[in-house]
Amino acid sequence: MNFSEFQFHADLVRGLETMGFEETTPVQEKAIPAIRQQKDLIACAQTGTGKTAAFLLPILHKLATNPATSTNTLIIVPTRELALQIDQHVEGLAYFLDNIRSVPIYGGTDGQTWEKERKAFQAGAPIIIATPGKLISHLAMGHPDFSQLENLILDEADRMLDMGFHEDILQIFG
């Protein structure tokens, strides 16, 4: 299946083309329509099968056609590396889209980074990508406003549980 069949926003299509995406993978073919219909979804597939694009593309399309005024999407990930990887993926796909940005939030940073993260929450960055521990720290300080949150993604949820983040995830949802 070709990505053009999804009729994504023209500037998102430009991002897809620039990144070299043409044909969907099986997980994308099944997940994108479900996410566009705002259905809950659990997707299991091998590394490199396009799961990240499968959840990002419908979200970016919706943000391109209906801009968010506050944080619209929260992606919780187990590691700093994955947060940065997804942030780069958003930057590439959304390169031609105005006012769509993501902010990675993870531990092991300095006070200057903390302030940047706080400001991202305050400004309502449309997409926040966070590790559980750092997100809990910001929640404790009252920084995030998730009242307009439409999308919650637990990327590599199985790995988060294996790494002992079960209680953290429950605390975030509580």
pTM, entire model: 0.94
User: How many structural domains comprise the chain?
Assistant: 1
| pLDDT per residue as tens digits for the range 127-160 | 999 999 999 999 999 888 899 999 999 999 999 9
Strand locations in the chain (E): 73-76, 102-105, 127-130, 151-154
* pLDDT confidence of residue 127: 96
Using one digit for the tens of pLDDT, what is the confidence trace for 34-69?
999 999 999 988 888 999 999 999 999 999 999 998
63-121 pLDDT, tens digit each: 999 999 899 999 999 999 999 999 999 999 999 998 899 999 998 888 888 888 888 88
Range of the domain at 77: 3-173
The CATH number linked to 156 is 3.40.50.300
- As a whole number of angstroms, the distance between CA 52 and CA 19 comes to 14
The whole-angstrom separation of Cα 91 and Cα 144 is 22
